[in-house]
Chains A and B, each alone.
Chain A
């Protein structure tokens, strides 16, 4: 059972759509920001609130989320602009560090400041070898 506050916020989200199915993506977003664990209870809770079948809910979640144990997940943009500006170099340097899981993504929307990466939604652009090393040396909170 989700706690009352989360439930109330979820129902508020559902209320802005004429059909409850509309709240599916915002609810998934809400749960991801709450740091909640995705499990059967979550899937059924979202399905019940939105009227979207559990299988569809799980299908969308599986295709959109990745969990990597306790490794730090760093997204590195490998779109054309970032690739040309050195994204492979960024990936190689990050991969040399244990506890950093490098996820190559197609575009992070900061192409003018390539190469770029994100960690926990925070964007780091204009990467250079020095900047990257400083970010890695700063530990989990700095990356």
Chain B
């Protein structure tokens, strides 16, 4: 499977993180052209290109921008660079290696929606990305649209939508709001409204504006034009960041072709194609599914109609235990739950405890049944303000459905799989960017 770089185009250019180098390779052209166009024209071009958000929800960008314009404009653009989902490192790498592309995209978005200010919410632990972005902001000097970095200490909940960035921007606890599904733009600082975008979504805008959308022409699927940069990690020969054309290959092409497949003497056992919340869990026989988020969004796709996700792909081989993986998922979700909604706060901790029992050999058939029922209960999106708890339940449910015999074999006896927990070295790491 060949790489097709749009988001990370020019990443191999030495010192492209410096403004003069970026500029000498065509950087800044998208913003210049955007400033010569009316906001409506920009929105139309982005709409014609079919750009969708790359965070995982795959919403059309122009729809949100039209909404902003209809409401008289948004005062702020918020860049979500928190990447609280384990396995995701794309936006951080974009910020570290191609900061001016990200900043240019943010300014284009601000111009389109009428914003006067951009805030970049970034994990405080992403020290390199913060340093490079800070330097890039200084390099571009005073601009009509200022950009401010907003470092946030973690750990943070995993699936909170746009509300997490908005809450921490206002000095609130890292908890979701009850207003995520309320129509209209979210409010920020009580005086204004904001549009929130994942960093990599904005990273496409310079190329789109420079080419008047042509760069997406004929690239990607009809539902989701363009590319996606997949973060592939786990037990493969060449983990790394792969930007590929959407709809031009399968999950198997990505993990067995590009990433080299399982390590020597091992076979792929399953792939979490959408990170910790993958539904369904893809067993080896299910890897021939197109990398097209449109197909996954289709309920008629049957057993594979789950979420496509935001580009986090975790690959497990035969040495990995499905119950141990579920236990680890539950631990992460319990550890990062904000505690606001009781079903999520208590439910994730209970799941962790029950799965630990199964893994250690003290679990019973009743415990397994209890885990199944608790997941069904917690997966209801009506019980929590954000997607954190439901994502935990669905991820564990998907493992239960994919490996029922393996879960059953843990009852009254513990894990029958001989796990290899020693340090391992892949053949290579593909493009650390």
Q: Kindly state the separation between the CA atoms of A105 and B328 in the bound complex, as whole angstroms.
A: 12
Please report the total number of B residues contacting A with Cβ < 8 Å.
61
The answer to whether the Cβ of A48 comes within 8 Å of any Cβ in the partner chain is no
- Contact yes or no, B423 A127, CB < 8 A: yes
Q: Is the CB of A81 within 8 A of B233?
A: yes
Assess whether A111 is in contact with B231, with CB atoms less than 8 Å apart: yes
Partner of A18, one of B173, B189, B276, B430: B189
- Asked if A24 and B171 sit within 8 Å, CB to CB, the answer is yes
| Chain B residues, Cβ within 8 Å of A19 | 170-171, 189-191
Would you call B153 and A28 a contact (CB within 8 A)? yes
Q: Do the beta carbons of A18 and B422 come within 8 Å of each other?
A: no
**Docked complex: B187-203 residues within 8 A CB-CB of A:** 189-192
Contact B153 A109 (CB under 8 A): no
* Chain A: interface residue total (CB-CB under 8 A): 52
- A121 in the interface (beta carbon within 8 A): yes
Inter-subunit contact A81/B171 (CB<8 Å)? no
One digit per residue, 1 when the CB lies within 8 angstroms of any chain B CB and 0 when it does not, for chain A 55-87 equals 010011001110000000000001111011110
Is B8 in the interface zone, CB < 8 Å from A?
no
- Given A29-B153, A105-B155, A128-B425, decide whether A80 and B432 contact each other with a Cβ distance below 8 A: no
Q: Which of A23-66 contact B (CB under 8 A)?
A: 23-26, 28-29, 32, 50, 52, 56, 59-60, 63-65
Residues of chain B from 60 to 85 with CB closer than 8 A to chain A in the complex: 83, 85
Q: Give A residues with C-beta under 8 Å from B.
A: 16-19, 21-26, 28-29, 32, 50, 52, 56, 59-60, 63-65, 78-81, 83-86, 88-90, 105-115, 118, 121-123, 126-129, 132
What are some 23 contacts across the A-B interface (CB < 8 A)? A19-B191, A21-B170, A21-B171, A25-B152, A29-B153, A56-B171, A64-B153, A80-B329, A83-B421, A84-B316, A85-B235, A85-B426, A86-B422, A89-B421, A106-B155, A107-B87, A111-B89, A111-B233, A112-B231, A112-B240, A113-B239, A121-B127, A132-B423
